[in-house]
A and B are shown apart, each in its own frame.
Chain A
Amino acid sequence: MSLAIQITLNGESRAIELDDPRITLLDLLRERLELTGTKKGCDRGQCGACTVLVDGRRVNACLTLAASLEGASVETIEGVADGPELHPVQQAFIDHDGFQCGFCTPGQIMSAIGLLREARVHGDPERVREQMSGNLCRCGAYAGIVEAVLDAERLTARESERGVA
């Protein structure tokens, strides 16, 4: 059985032929589209390492059946930086040492970007902790992650005040 879907992937329209209906978005990205930045930590929606944005919202790519994504927009870690210019969230993760081994980091960053788009943090570290709890970090970089998200929120707010996109 062959299935075709049309999706927007990191801003680019893509027609994708699926060789198997069982393919998840995660395995599509990693094994078929050479986008390996998104990680497989548990494959069961229990760790968040595979977090990507679908239609602007963060989801677990491992529990998303690729075939059902017809018409969807998908953003992955590879599409976040503007060329050599890091996204503010990426830079904040470096500045606050918000990772150690780095394996959960693409998922953390996509989750943080999704969180900031939801605009419900309001500078409250407790809200960041709760809202970032879908992303496990076994190294225990949580303190830096919280600081990074708050920092990126402040920066984004300042930029939007200045009218910067």
Chain B
Amino acid sequence: MSEFVPITAPARQRQQASIGQPVKRRDGVAKVTGAATYAADNHPKDMLHAVMAVATIANGRVRALDVAAAKAHPGVVEVMTPENRPALAKNPDDRDNPFMFRLDLLQSDRVRYANQPIAVVIAETFEAATEGAALLAPRYDVEPAQLDMHADSEAFVPEAVGPGAPAESHVGDIDAGLAQGSHRVDSTYETPAQYHNPMEPHAVVAAWEGDKLIVDTPSQAMTIARGRLAGLFGIDADDVLIRSPYLGGGFGCKGALMSPQVLGILAAKMVGRPVKLVPTRPQMYGPLGHRAPTSQTLRLGMDDAGKLTALSHHARTTSSMFDEFFEPSANISHTLYASLAISTTHDAVRVHTGTPMFMRGPGEASGSVALESAIDEAAHACGMDPLAFRLANYADVEPISGKPFSSKRLYDCYAQGAERFGWAKRVLAPRSMRDENGLLVGWGLGTATFPVIMFEAEARAIIRADGTGVMETGAQDMGQGAWTALAQIAADSLKLELDQTVFRAGTSDLPDGGVAGGSGHTATVGNAIDAAGRNAIARLIDMAVADTDSPLHGLAADQVEARWGRLQAVDDGARSEGYADILRRAGLRELEGHGRGRADADVGERYAMHAHGAVFAEVKVDPDLGQMRVTRMVGAFAAGRVINPRMVESQFFGGMIWGLGFALHEKAETDPRTGRIMNANLGEYHVPTNADVANIEALIVNEDDPHVNVLGIKGVGEIAVTGTAGAIANAVWHATSKRVRRFPIGVADMIAEPATAD
């Protein structure tokens, strides 16, 4: 199932690397024909449908559920509640690493946030299960909910932010720096709670075969999910098979296994039949993670030359009442701008919401919109062009650590992006540009950055008797193009054409594919694949040079190289033979190589490693009606080695569109009395539509990084969210002279006149 034959033309004697080629998606045909099987598309025999009932209160207890009414509904088979839920081997409230989250698995009648699962109805049909869940008509003992992130008396400094970063960092004397500046910015920016909203909900189809468990569910990290399930159910990890060949988007919320997925598995265990459970769209606003809201205060000092003397960034965020994830927003200020003093601090307030978690650019996205807005305000305070101001504060070493960058071509990003956008024609003063129809026009800039993150992954390479190759790793493709880009790396590692290389991924019984997250999947798995392929080739060379029948016999291993399915002597191309010949003489059906990819801790000690970019945005604003439209965006990004420029461009587009949504659209609106999210749907929680994205360009700036990893890959999945939201906010300011510091920027923010009722 999880194997692709290429759709490209038959083998050409191209004989050049697959890496760097704009290969079309190898899963393309499956996706455009509807044949690609997502989790909810599975339908094992005798399958039942499960639907969750979720809480409508944010704090309290479930006093009563009308289980009898639900069970009386035709087709309902069972109702799972805290009273009868099958036992677990591990408390769902235990967690032992920063990538594990506490789960709501009906462990009690306690409600800790609105939309928390409180029961599961299992029925013969989806229709019956849905109505059965409604018929439970829960009654509650309601307790007051704490929902105010500005409750200062509740604030505390978390032990760590993000996945284990310090909550505070300082370099230099921030007060002295602020005092030293002749210009000052002191602004607070508010960002709202946002929800990942992948198009595909966290569906699960679970089937137990005795103590063995087969789960179809989207996962960005199958090995971790498998371990989590094994722990919860007290079974061996090898007895859990997770299949996740396609994810309908992830963006962070499918990184950890989430409560609804486990509830589907529990339901299957309870009824002894396969069960499908798919959260409804409204149910995705609670138990499935979100980007926490922030309130960020930036204090900047600048000298007369426009150089930063102080950069202070404080971020207030929230976590749930029962678990920890603290959006590390202020840490964006560690990297980008040189300053005599830098101070980043975080604090947090617990609120009755679901637990926030990693969401595309966690910390970086929310931090960037505040930092880039503040930098724009600083440029204005100094009377400088926003690009000139950024160049004046360009960091030649990482400001917070003093480390050199492993590579940094941000200057080229600025230059190439500005050239393409036409930035030189920008008028300095705000509200001074108009289009031919009189709409206000603004041009804004934001700097993008994202760290190089690597997890750990393994791969197995196989050279087969017919000379073709196989590469296996439990990688996950959530749309970023793993099926294609990793296959390209695999082909190159085995020195084969792409269409001579079978690439297997997407199931948990393959070598550990690590995490599709942190923009680190291609770097991590790619290097594992590269190592596995090279390992296989090395073994093949060892066999050949030891084989008296080989034309390569007697050469030292380093005198032999692999080229497109053949081994040959480095200094004599005539001495060569095909892979198949070597295996055939040895009587082998296949030969394996193994490889591992992970960060080199030593390199991390010596270098600051980040991708960089610059995003230029044009926004038009109707001066009377306040409606805004991003009419043009140009992003230029330097992110190390590019495996597949077609897919990388798409990643940049996607990130920039997320930035657009951050700036102008996305916001969960919580009723301050009940804690219920009142726009928990895709009609009123706005994400950008096609019409919101007018002209968009992404430039790939070449960058050769000799340090980050063998392949020189940095990562492209998240960086483009950063920079973009700030660029758009800055463009809105430039168009209107209105600096809106609460996101998303909306029509009401643009309507100047006070209400009159004459």
Contacts and interface: CB of A to CB of B under 8 A. Distances in A.
A72 to B, nearest CB: 20
B25 interface: yes
B32 A133 contact: no
B434 interface: no
Interface residues of B, number: 64
Interface stretch (A73-81, A116-124, A154-162): A73-81
Contact of B481 (A20, A100, A136, A144): A100
B24 interface: yes
B682 A143 contact: no
A59 interface: no
A94 B654 contact: no
B640 to A, nearest CB: 20
Contacts of A19: 125
Interface stretch (B261-269, B407-415, B689-697): B689-697
Contacts of B298: none
B66 interface: no
B29 A44 contact: no
Interface stretch (B37-45, B499-507, B529-537): B37-45
Contacts of A44: 281, 681-683
Interface of A is mostly: loop
A95 B23 CA distance: 10
Contact of B33 (A80, A101, A104): A80
Interface in A128-156: 128-130, 132-133, 135-146
B15 to A, nearest CB: 25
Nearest to B478: A101
A142 B480 CA distance: 15
B649 to A, nearest CB: 8
Interface in A3-43: 19-20, 22-23, 27, 30-31, 34-43
A117 to B, nearest CB: 18
B682 A136 contact: yes
A100 B650 contact: yes
Given A39-B248, A101-B247, A90 B33 contact: yes
Interface in B177-209: 197-201
Task: Identify which of A36, A37, A132, A138 gathers the most chain B CB atoms within 10 Å of its CB.
Answer: A138
Contacts of B657: 140, 142
Interface string A68-91: 000000001110110000100011
A104 B654 CA distance: 14
A121 to B, nearest CB: 13
Contacts of A102: 27, 30-32, 36, 246, 248, 479
A46 B33 contact: no
B24 A46 contact: no
B97 to A, nearest CB: 27
A109 interface: yes
Interface of B is mostly: loop
Nearest to A22: B127
Interface in B223-260: 246-251
Contact of B682 (A46, A100, A144): A46
B658 A140 contact: yes
B682 A42 contact: yes
Contacts of A130: 690-691
A104 B247 CA distance: 11
A3 to B, nearest CB: 13
A93 B693 CA distance: 18
Contact of B35 (A37, A43, A93): A37
B248 A140 contact: no
Nearest to A42: B281
B587 interface: no
Nearest to A101: B479
Task: Identify which of A45, A95, A100 gathers the most chain B CB atoms within 10 Å of its CB.
Answer: A100
B702 interface: no
Given A104-B199, A129-B693, A86 B32 contact: yes
A47 interface: yes
A49 interface: yes
Contacts of B694: 126, 129
A101 B646 contact: no
A95 to B, nearest CB: 7
Contacts of A132: 690
Interface string B267-287: 000000000001011000000
A138 B653 CA distance: 11
B255 to A, nearest CB: 15
Nearest to A84: B29
B691 A140 contact: no
B687 interface: yes
27 contacts: A23-B127, A30-B40, A38-B34, A39-B199, A41-B199, A42-B682, A49-B199, A80-B33, A86-B32, A94-B28, A97-B647, A100-B249, A100-B480, A101-B248, A101-B250, A101-B478, A102-B30, A102-B479, A103-B248, A105-B32, A109-B32, A139-B249, A139-B654, A143-B653, A143-B693, A145-B690, A146-B690
Given A39-B200, A101-B198, 12 more contacts: A38-B34, A39-B38, A41-B199, A77-B34, A99-B32, A99-B479, A101-B250, A101-B478, A104-B199, A133-B689, A137-B690, A138-B197
Interface of B: 7, 24-25, 27-38, 40-41, 43, 49, 125-128, 131, 197-201, 246-251, 278, 280-281, 478-481, 646-647, 649-651, 653-658, 681-683, 687-691, 693-694, 696
